[in-house]
A and B are shown apart, each in its own frame.
Chain A
Amino acid sequence: MLRHFYRCALRLHPPEFRRRFSAEMLLIYDHSTGRFSSLRLILDAFVSLARQGILRPEFWLRTSPASAPRAFDGIPSFSSLDPFRPHTSAMIHGTVVSIALFCVTCFAIRYSWIHVLQIHIPEVQFESPRWVPSSPGTGASAHQLSVSPIRMQPPLASTSFGSPLSQKQLPAATATEAARRTGTPSGKGAFKSNKSVETTPTLATLPNPVTGTEEHLAFTQAPLSALERRRVIGEAITHLRRYYIYPAAARRMAESLRKHEQNGDDDSASAGSAFASLLTTQLRAVSHDRHLGISYSQSAIPEGATGPTPEAIMHYRQEMERTNCGFEKVVLLSHYIGYVKLNSFPDLQLCRSTVEAAMTSLNQADAIIFDLRDNHGGSPEMVAFVASYLFDHPTHLEDFYNRSENTTLPSWTLSPIEGNQLANKPAFVLTSAETFSGGEEFAYDLKMLKRATVVGETTAGAAHMVRQRRIDAHFRLRVPDTRPINPVSKTNWEGTGVTPDVRVNAAQALATAEWLAEKLPNK
């Protein structure tokens, strides 16, 4: 024990001193006899350490050739404090323990319900339902990996914060959906506009809410030539000018893309995914529109393809089952306060029954809290449906203006909901800086209508709705073509976010809302 202490004291000495003398000093320690002698040597080591630190500052600057990392032909090497190499068994044990610790840490971050660390860990899965090995004559291997975010936006929604879908691709599409597509009103609150179905393929690989790019890991990516890059930029500019919600901003983005191209800023991005990411950055630098982005797909995007693949739909259904349609928690708190933690607004047709069950379970509540702090948006139809539980009559939430088609789609609640008892109960919406898109719409609509108290932080500030446009076989443009216009404020929350009525840190939002709910006069 004392010897270990002595070694520690020696290790604190300057590197050059340690390299030269530590072995000998340890030898002298080994020759010493008696506890008193050992203590005297330890004291001597600390006096020596003080002397080296105070009187010999120049020794600390000397580099020890033994401890300096050396590279052999560019291969980095390790160095250790001790003059000898660690045992092989120690190296193996260290490796095993490091790997185990890394895995446990990742597992804890991924599955812990306390989301203290906002770290995004992607799920890696095969895009194809099964592993398809390469066979002679088929050329390159057919397998590839795709990485999808944990939080998914619904591929089944069409005019949405998600992506459009053809009716042919979704037999389960309901009459409401069909009516909306053909322009036929279907009951109160249905969309009434004659909106054409201009669709592009939508996959289960969904846009990252932060980067806006679809992330694909592929084993190989053919390098892009300057000609190909120019063609992609040209097509992207065409789509932007035709569809982007603000023509002036589209012109500025087009000029910016051309300028970057002429300056050679794109030359370093030879890989498709890197090029897509670079263009996204350039576009957002001008527009500050977090819905806007260009994505790259390793697998070829069929020309004229409509809607997601059956595999993508199946995957989405499985994901919704696994995540309970985004309902992380539905519980009746003390003082009869209903609490709903909703992390997305998924496809209405798929998740309607889940929403009904969740909201019905809170019928006895005297107040209700919607926790949208981790909500990254989804379908505006679902936003309207969930909001329907807070009104006893159809209520006008938003108008969605599409610039290229010059149409306006009103969004109304489907109130009253049969058997619902929450229509006149006080409501609170919890927000954070991560609350995005559809999550923001829910908070904004209820705030404008003075139907709910927003508690937490100012939201991300992403209001537009996007549609994917095919650029070529591998590139797609997510171009916002629709913006919400609130009937009360006549504007929206793009760029500004939804400002809370009660501003507190996101971590304190729930406790604050509970406290406010308990103090309500009618309780």
Chain B
Amino acid sequence: MAADFDYLPLSPATLHILLSLAGEDLHGYGIMQEIARHSDGKYKVGPGTLYDNLQKLMDREWVEELGCRKSDDDPRRRYYRLTAAGRGVLAAETARLAGVVREARSRLQMAKPRRA
């Protein structure tokens, strides 16, 4: 099995799913809503993409399934949680992206026209 960091960089869908689960445990529909919220509605995933990715993430043990909650009104809802491994991968991806952003900013500043 490949090491977790071999999967970097993450696909946008994977990144957003991990990101949405970083704050709290969510069910599938909650993940979709959270992704729409933290991307300001600019990125949306459909159920097909979501659950295909969730299956992949559970196989990699980055996400675990918690089952349904007794307090929840619909027993069909299953909740998902980010595992420690998943959190580590998300942190690594965030650091990678931060480096990318940093590099991008520096290069953009260098390219900016300066007054003499």
How many residues does chain A have at the interface if contact means C-beta atoms less than 8 Å apart?
22
Spot the interface stretch: A44-52, A92-100, A281-289, A489-497: A44-52
Asked whether, in the complex, the Cβ of A24 is within 8 Å of the Cβ of B51, the reply is yes
Taken residue by residue from 283 to 321, chain A's Cβ proximity to chain B (1 for < 8 Å, 0 otherwise) reads as: 000000000000000000000000000000000000000
Q: Does B76 lie within 8 Å of A26, measured CB to CB?
A: yes
Does the CB pair B76–A27 fall under 8 Å?
A: yes
> A17 near B46 (CB under 8 angstroms)?
no
Alpha-carbon distance A40/B45, docked complex (angstroms): 11
Total count of chain B residues near the partner, CB < 8 A: 17
CB of B96 to closest CB in A, whole Å? 24
Q: Is the CB of B47 within 8 A of A48?
A: yes
B78 touches A24 (CB 8 A): yes
Option from B27, B51, B78 in Cβ contact (under 8 Å) with A17 = B51
Contact pattern, A 318-338, Cβ under 8 Å of B = 1, otherwise 0:
000000000000000000000
Cα A47 to Cα B52 in complex, Å, equals: 11
Contacts of B1-54 to chain A: CB distance below 8 A: 27-29, 32, 46-49, 51-52, 54
Asked if A44 meets B46 with Cβ closer than 8 Å, knowing A21-B51, A28-B28, the reply is yes
**Smallest distance from the beta carbon of A64 to chain B beta carbons, Å?**
13
Interchain CB contact under 8 A, A17 and B55: yes
CA distance A28 to B30 in the complex (A): 10
Which B residues touch A52, using CB under 8 A? 52
CB distance from A432 to the nearest CB of B (A): 57
CB 8 Å contact bits of A32-53 with B (1 = contact, 0 = none): 0000000011001101110110
| Pick from A23, A27, A47, A51: contact of B29, CB under 8 Å | A27
A44 touches B47 (CB 8 A): yes
Given known A17-B55, A27-B74, A27-B77, contact A48–B49 (CB-CB < 8 A): yes
**Which of B48, B54, B65, B77 contacts A51 (CB under 8 A)?**
B48
Instruction: Say yes or no: A20 contacts B47, CB within 8 Å.
Output: no
B46 closest partner in A (C-beta): A44
Whole-angstrom CA separation of A49 from B48 in the bound complex: 8
Give, as a whole number of angstroms, the nearest-CB distance from B19 to chain A: 19
Q: A24 contacts B76, CB within 8 Å? A: yes
Specify which chain B residues have a CB less than 8 angstroms from the CB of A21 in the assembled complex: 28, 47, 51, 54-55
List the 3 shortest-distance A-B pairs measured between CB atoms, nearest first.
A48-B48, A44-B46, A21-B51
- Which single member of B28, B46, B51, B54 contacts A41 (CB below 8 Å)? B46
Contacts of A25 in B (CB 8 A): 28, 47-48, 51
How many whole Å from B52's CB to the nearest CB in chain A?
6
A418-440 interface bits toward B, Cβ cutoff 8 Å, 1 = contact, 0 = none: 00000000000000000000000
CB of A56 within 8 Å of the partner chain: yes
Q: Is the beta-carbon distance between B52 and A24 smaller than 8 angstroms? A: no
- Give CA–CA (A501, B10) in the complex, Å: 79
Most buried by A among B32, B55, B65, B77: B55
Query: What are 6 of the A-B contact pairs (CB < 8 Å)?
Result: A24-B77, A27-B76, A28-B28, A41-B46, A47-B46, A48-B51
Contacts of B76 in A (CB 8 A): 23-24, 26-27
Among residues of B, the one whose C-beta sits closest to the C-beta of A56 is B52
Residue in chain B with minimal CB distance to A45: B48
Residue in A27, A40, A51 whose CB lies within 8 Å of B52: A51
